[in-house]
Every structure is written in structure tokens, then in C-alpha cells.
Structure 1
């Protein structure tokens, strides 16, 4: 009789699934923690870009914008909110901050 020994046994498959499960359990929480860090870094970059656009608006128009909506309507910015939920605000001295 011919013996067909090709393929995996049930125990080998269960061991592979267990190893994959353990790796997923270790990796997924780290990705969630990094998501917050990435969103905060992106918000900082958006604030820096908005500060540059305030300066460009001032050079083009000779005065500071009234608020962030003026930058959006004049096409200097496309959005005034960060991915982490913070909103960009223009201070009285012309600096942009995220609140």
C-alpha cells in the first residue's frame, strides 16, 4: 500500500495558528499606541504649515487674517482641524495654535 505523507497534521496547524495569534496579540496594542503619536505629530506639522500660511497671507494682503476661516476662504489652507480632534486657532499676535 502507498502511504501518503504529504500535508500537515492537525497539531502542526494548531501550533502555527497559536504562533500567529501570539504575534497579533503583541503587535496590535503597539500599533494603537503609535496611532496617537502619529496623529499628534501630524497636528504639529499642520500648525507649522498654518503659521507659514499666515505669514504668506500677511505678505500678500498687508495685514494678518481675522481668523482661520479667512485663510480657508482665500485658499491658503484647506482644513482647520487636526486628525486628533484639535482645532487650529489664530491668536491675536498672528500665531496658530491647536486646541
Structure 2
């Protein structure tokens, strides 16, 4: 089994808002020192709703996968899409936006 790559207790993070299916969400991300995505925390606009819980759980599971060595592209590729290829979950929408940001900043998607 691969070792979990622990993050520093105090680390820089970035927060951004986005909309998915007419709902507002917030994502907060941190990265490993080499720039790879290390964690993502999601929350819905309406706290303590089913959509908020689903978003939060998705972020936790994605963060654990990333810290155990999963690539962002692998996680994104495993998530559901609708018939047009759009993300079928808030986690997918957030990871798509992160990939767009990384592509514009670094020339390649995460």
C-alpha cells in the first residue's frame, strides 16, 4: 500500500466560488510543494443540505485519493458526466475549473 503524503499543518490555500446546477459552491484547495493538487474542500451555498453533504464528502474522498498518489486526471476521468460531457457533480465541476486554471497558468491540465 502506498503511504499517505501528509501536508503541513499550516499551508497556503486558494478559495474560489463556482456554480453547478443553479447552486453556489465554494472550493478551497491546497497543493504539494511541487504544485500538484493535494486537497480540495467543497461546501454548498446552503449549509446542512443534502447537496452540501455530497459536496463535502466528495472533497474529502478526493483529497484522500490525491494524498495517496492518485492523479487529478485519473480522479476527473472516473467521475460521472452528462450526455454533453459536463460534470455530473459539484466535485467534477470544481476539478474541471481547477484543470482550466492550471492549463492557463501552467500550460497543462492537472
TM-score, normalized by the shorter chain, greater than 0.5: no
Query: How high is the TM-score relative to the length of structure 1?
Result: 0.30
Greater relative contact order (CA < 8 Å, ≥ 6 in sequence): 1
* Structure (1 or 2) with the larger CA radius of gyration: 1
